[in-house]
Structure 1
Amino acid sequence: MSNETVSADPIDPDALAEELARAATVRELQRIRGLLTIAVLIGLTVACFFARDVLLPIILGIMVSLTLSPVVRWAQRRGVTPPLTAVALILMLGGILGASGYAMSEPVTNWVQNAPEMGREVQRKLAGIFESVEKVQEASDQVEEMATDAEAGVQKVVLDQPGLLNSAASYAASIGTTLAVALVLALFLLASGDLFYTKIVESYPRLSEKKRALRIVYGVERAISRYLLTITAINAGLGLTVFAALWALGLPNAFIWGFVAFVFNFLPFIGAMAGTVLVGFYALVTLDTVGYALLMPTVYLTATSIEGQFVTPTILGKRLNMNTVSVFLTVVFWGWLWGIAGALMAVPFLVMVKVICDNVPSLRTFGSFLGGADTAVAAPAERSTA
């Protein structure tokens, strides 16, 4: 048996140096790409912050369009053209919003005008609680008086602030304008049918890319429509329940608090607590005894708790179950960026991002962090074999 010797090829120093240089270049490019990505995200955040008045109605209109697109497509299969269905849906939605705003305008205006008196009434009824705070307030007043004596020679300029009623009217006008622009945009998008979907698919050259784009588009539409339609129905039921319960207990203007429950329940975590506080404040002002007044926020909180713990999880199930941490961070971020309107749209936006991530291979890791359920849409061949 002969012994065979295996001789290793000599290492080429130039090739090794070239390979090391190439690896260093790749790492540098990756670092630059990461920095550019961070810079782009920061730039987009700043742009969204300053372009809120423009972007808010556009995003809201797109979400309304995505929500109602399956309805338009269902009517189209039965011979009704998309423009006719779109006009009917937008007129119905606009009529509901307009009627709700008109019904609430008079009592809300009275509340704004009588806000100081309402505050004093609450303070009178809760005098026992405020007594412990008065001592701290007196000490604070003494410190303020000492500071005022020290600055007696300094002339102060006080700017007149707009009245509370004027501020409320301006805010209501801003909300009305945003909703009007969003509804008009949604009307145009719905009336166009599948035109924009076709344009998106045609923009990709290869068939595999066209199929993936189509899966993403219909996946986003299906997820957003299913989530928003289901949540809207649940919130409407909650609003009717709160209205009926508070009306039966004798709380004036109970329909307003039913509408508040409907709207605030779109806001995770803090919507129920904010509604509970507002109902408690109003009940203390309008009802005679503190004990009976505290029954109103208790009923409100009970109804929202039952909805959040049992009704919504049972109806939605685990298909669109989102990571609680990601939902909380998204609500905080969009609430900081766009206020209440941003917080209300945070969860639908997160659902949209998750669907996109689940259908793009390079983003699936991030999509799995956002939620426990996979919202990737199966291809037609995969659905036929399932």
Structure 2
Amino acid sequence: MRVLPNDRAPANGDARAALADHDTRPSPIIRRTDLIAYVLTSLLAISVVAVLYVAKAFFLPVVAAFVIGTMLSPAANFLERHRIPRALSAVLIVSSLGAGVTFIVGLISAPVMQWTGRLPELAGLLKDKLHIFDRPLALWHELQSMLGVSNAFSAAPFQMPKLDWVQPALEFLPPTFTEFLVFLATLILFIASWRDLRRALVMTFTSHNSRLRALRVLNAIEDHLGAYLITVTLINMGVGAATGLVCWVTGMPNPAGLGALAATLNYLPIIGPVAMFAVLALVGVMAMPTIGSGVIAPLAFVGIAFLEGHFVTPTIIGRRLELNALAVFLSLAFWTWLWGPMGAFLSSPLLIVALILRDDLSTSSSPQLP
């Protein structure tokens, strides 16, 4: 039987009407499946953070060894190209690193021990120099009494902090020493076997495109972390040399130790320069004849830190990998809260790794040769 065109018209009209009704329905902003995925991802992130916090004694030395080992891997590759076995290269690199750290600690610890033994004398000197603030403090106390504000600290005598640190240090050393041994062993083994680990990690993927992508990510992480370590080390050495020169010119005691301390603390973003300024201010006030001469070196260090933080480091590091200031601060706050000073040191390298992974996941799926 032949179907007339008029017989198909009502059916087409009903389909258009149904499609129009379907299009006018409001679509949900967040689908139920997406909401469940977000919730599960959030629970997974909270669980990972909780595990990293509770098992800090294990994960901190292991993660630190992985990050630092990746930074030092280009040096091992260089020695391996000159026919030095990978295992021997790992031992040589870690021994050199340990010798450098020991030298820096020696420069810093000598004046610290000397000043610790002179705490009573230094307390008297600091108290005498603070007499110039007696008049402003008296006016402040008088203003507080006129306003009826109580000052519970006005009658408290000035005292230097007690050095009750022997017992806590003895309780702190055993786990710290154990973590250091775990870190040292993991670092040597990681550098020695990094090439095999890379190959095994790449071969876990089944497709050729996935293997190329994994290899590209590993190469980017190794290159960026190695360049970051070299660049930051050179910058910190410059900061330490400039700080030591300023301390020597202004007559500060032990300028070499203060310069080494400035270079070491500068590995900690934001926290390190602030701590170094406090150290220079305290040493300057106690060691220099007047408070005016004692604040010259701290103010000069503020200028050095400003130039380094706002011009030198962004110009050099920003050419290879852009690090947002807010992201650096949040990463520093999170890892410092989670793992303390070592977490602060690892915050920038871990942020670099996260940015590399984000850039790779956000690119197209078409593979590129590494």
Do both proteins adopt the same fold according to a TM-score greater than 0.5, normalized to the shorter chain? yes
SS in 1 for 2:151: helix
Structure 1 partner of 2:115 = 111
| Count of aligned pairs | 347
- CA RMSD between the two structures: 3.7
Q: CA deviation at 1:27?
A: 2.7
List per-residue Cα deviations over 1:86-115 (Å, max 9, x = no partner).
111111111111232234333323434545
Partners of 1:284 and 1:294 within 8 A in 2: yes
* Distance (whole Å) between structure 2 residues aligned to residue 182 and residue 199 of structure 1: 22
Closer/same/farther in 2, CA of residues 342 and 95 from structure 1, 3 Å limit: same
List per-residue Cα deviations over 1:133-172 (Å, max 9, x = no partner).
5626993339999xxxxxxxxxxxxxxx981355467667
Closer/same/farther in 2, CA of residues 288 and 167 from structure 1, 3 Å limit: farther
* Distance (whole Å) between structure 2 residues aligned to residue 212 and residue 243 of structure 1: 46
Q: Is the deviation greater in 135-144 or in 303-312?
A: 135-144
Q: CA deviation at 1:123?
A: 4.1
Fraction of identical pairs, as percent: 26
Closer/same/farther in 2, CA of residues 98 and 143 from structure 1, 3 Å limit: closer
Q: CA deviation at 1:30?
A: 2.1
Partners of 2:107 and 2:260 within 8 A in 1: no
List per-residue Cα deviations over 1:361-385 (Å, max 9, x = no partner).
3xx69xxxxxxxxxx9x832xx7xx
Q: CA deviation at 1:322?
A: 0.9
Residue pairs, 1:23-102, within 5 angstroms:
27-102=31-106
Structure 2 partner of 1:15 = none
Q: Is the deviation greater in 177-186 or in 35-44?
A: 177-186
SS in 2 for 1:379: coil
Structure 1 partner of 2:265 = 264
Structure 1 partner of 2:151 = 140
List per-residue Cα deviations over 1:332-368 (Å, max 9, x = no partner).
112222222222221111011001111113xx69xxx
Partners of 1:201 and 1:210 within 8 A in 2: yes
Partners of 1:94 and 1:183 within 8 A in 2: no
* Distance (whole Å) between structure 2 residues aligned to residue 346 and residue 129 of structure 1: 40
Structure 1 partner of 2:188 = 187
* Distance (whole Å) between structure 2 residues aligned to residue 173 and residue 250 of structure 1: 40
* Distance (whole Å) between structure 2 residues aligned to residue 282 and residue 292 of structure 1: 11
List per-residue Cα deviations over 1:182-233 (Å, max 9, x = no partner).
2332211111141100110111111111111111111111111111211011
Consecutive unaligned residues in structure 1, runs of 5 or more: 12-22, 146-160, 366-375
Structure 2 partner of 1:214 = 215
Q: CA deviation at 1:177?
A: 5.4
Partners of 1:109 and 1:165 within 8 A in 2: no
2:92 corresponds to which letter in structure 1? Answer: A
Closer/same/farther in 2, CA of residues 129 and 270 from structure 1, 3 Å limit: farther
Q: Is the deviation greater in 163-172 or in 307-316?
A: 163-172
1:88 corresponds to which letter in structure 2? Answer: L
* Distance (whole Å) between structure 1 residues aligned to residue 337 and residue 346 of structure 2: 12
1:141 corresponds to which letter in structure 2? Answer: A
Structure 2 partner of 1:379 = 368
Closer/same/farther in 2, CA of residues 133 and 50 from structure 1, 3 Å limit: farther
Structure 2 partner of 1:296 = 297
* Distance (whole Å) between structure 2 residues aligned to residue 234 and residue 299 of structure 1: 17
Partners of 1:73 and 1:193 within 8 A in 2: no
Q: CA deviation at 1:65?
A: 0.8
* Distance (whole Å) between structure 2 residues aligned to residue 321 and residue 142 of structure 1: 47
Structure 1 partner of 2:315 = 314
Closer/same/farther in 2, CA of residues 143 and 198 from structure 1, 3 Å limit: same
2:87 corresponds to which letter in structure 1? Answer: P
* Distance (whole Å) between structure 1 residues aligned to residue 316 and residue 85 of structure 2: 32
* Distance (whole Å) between structure 1 residues aligned to residue 120 and residue 313 of structure 2: 38
Structure 1 partner of 2:128 = 124
Q: CA deviation at 1:127?
A: 3.0
Consecutive unaligned residues in structure 2, runs of 5 or more: 16-26, 157-161
Q: Is the deviation greater in 51-60 or in 171-180?
A: 171-180
User: Normalized against structure 1, the TM-score is what?
Assistant: 0.78
Q: Is the deviation greater in 115-124 or in 229-238?
A: 115-124
User: Normalized against structure 2, the TM-score is what?
Assistant: 0.81
1:331 aligns with 2:332: yes
SS in 2 for 1:192: helix
Residue pairs, 1:221-300, within 5 angstroms:
221-300=222-301
Q: CA deviation at 1:311?
A: 2.4
* Distance (whole Å) between structure 2 residues aligned to residue 338 and residue 231 of structure 1: 21
